[in-house]
């Protein structure tokens, strides 16, 4: 069965690994993907900032892309500790994860800030992977659609994005790093909801072609059933992306 959209399997290494470990893992992933020569899926890895160039140098860019886990929206300036989209681009990266729930939680990132980051990424030729998702109390109180609607609309409403320069990742907070993944049906329901929101803010063509990834405890044993869902176009993988054996099995999903 062929998927409607080209899939994207992305690995978020978070704040883990040494430079040697990043290089080894990036090489192993790249070797695997280069052999497979997939035409129906893209692969991206997002190492910590200091290892962006090492990761870029370790992969075959025809098969594996590299992304940052964050960026700042200014081009340059007195912003100690921040990294601009230009710098990310200059390292050879092509994607940037924006608005991961850990950034929202620990660094108080708001939709207003994330809108600026997404805009800056796109205008510098980077593809943002914009993360949205509700907390467990939102889902328990049946507010999950309202929360995701606000996250999507407030950050994206004023941006002229296309389907090929933005990726959305639905990552329910209760599923990240917990070992409890959303069921394929729960994820599919939210992905369809997000796709309809995109149709409202942009148009039907963009909404039908934009990629919406699922993230939250994706593992080799649940990827196949998630990817069978019509509106799940790939995965953003945290923990399981740190082990070549697990991540390559996820990349090699079968539907």
Q: What residue ranges bind ligand PEP (CB under 6 A)?
A: 12, 14, 100, 171, 176-177, 215-218, 236-240
Q: Are 84 and 95 in contact (CB under 8 A)?
A: no
Q: What sign does the CA torsion over 235, 238, 66, 24 have?
A: negative
- 207, containing H or E segment: helix 204-209
Residues in the chain: 255
Q: How far apart are CA 243 and CA 17, in angstroms?
A: 11
3-state secondary structure of 129: strand
Minimal distance, residue 37 CB to ligand PEP, in Å: 26
| Strand residues in 27-166 grouped as ranges (E) | 41-46, 65-68, 95-98, 127-132
Q: What is the dihedral of CA 173, 175, 177, 180, to 10 degrees?
A: 160
Closest CA to 128 of 187, 172, 67, 210: 67
Contact 153, 130 (CB under 8 A): no
Catalytic residue, chosen from 100, 109, 111, 134, is 100
State the nearest-atom distance from the C-beta of 176 to ligand PEP, in Å: 4
Task: Pick the closer one to ligand PEP by CB: 184 or 199.
Answer: 184
Comparing CB distances to ligand PEP, the nearer of 3 and 103 is 103
| Shortest Å distance, C-beta 215 to ligand PEP | 4
Which residue's CB is nearer to ligand PEP, number 161 or number 247? Answer: 247
Least distance CB 236 / ligand PEP (angstroms): 5
The active-site residue, picked from 102, 109, 171, 188, is 171
Q: Which is nearer to ligand PEP, 88 or 213 (CB)?
A: 213
Residue nearer to ligand PEP on the CB measure, 85 or 172? 172
Q: At what angle do helices 111-123 and 144-156 cross, to 10 degrees?
A: 50
Instruction: Give least dist CB 162 to ligand PEP, A.
Output: 24
By beta-carbon distance, which residue lies closest to ligand PEP?
238
3-class SS at 184?
Answer: helix
171 carries an active-site annotation: yes
The catalytic residues are 100, 171
């Amino acid at each position: 069965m062929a998927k409607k959209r080209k899939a994207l399997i992305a690995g978020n290494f978070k704040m883990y690994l040494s430079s040697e470990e990043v290089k080894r893992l990036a090489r192993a992933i790249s070797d695997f993907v280069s052999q497979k020569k997939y035409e129906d899926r893209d692969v991206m890895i997002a190492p910590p900032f200091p290892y962006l160039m090492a990761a870029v140098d370790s992969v075959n860019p025809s098969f594996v892309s590299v992304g940052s886990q964050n960026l700042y929206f200014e081009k340059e300036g007195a912003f100690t500790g921040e990294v601009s989209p230009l710098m990310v681009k200059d390292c050879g990266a092509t994607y940037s994860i924006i608005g991961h729930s850990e950034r929202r939680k620990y660094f108080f990132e708001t939709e207003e800030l994330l809108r600026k980051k997404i805009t800056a990424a796109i205008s510098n030729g980077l593809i943002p992977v914009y993360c949205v998702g509700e907390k467990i109390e939102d889902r328990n109180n049946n507010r999950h659609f309202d929360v995701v609607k606000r996250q999507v609309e407030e950050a994206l409403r004023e941006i002229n994005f296309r389907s090929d320069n933005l990726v959305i990742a639905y990552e329910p907070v209760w599923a990240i790093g917990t070992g409890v993944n959303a069921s394929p049906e729960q994820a599919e329901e939210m992905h369809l909801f997000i796709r309809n929101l995109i149709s409202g803010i942009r148009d039907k063509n963009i909404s039908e072609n934009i990629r919406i990834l699922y993230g939250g405890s994706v593992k080799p044993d649940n990827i196949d059933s998630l990817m069978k869902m019509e509106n799940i176009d790939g995965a953003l993988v945290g923990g399981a992306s740190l082990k070549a054996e697990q991540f390559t099995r996820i990349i090699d999903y079968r539907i």
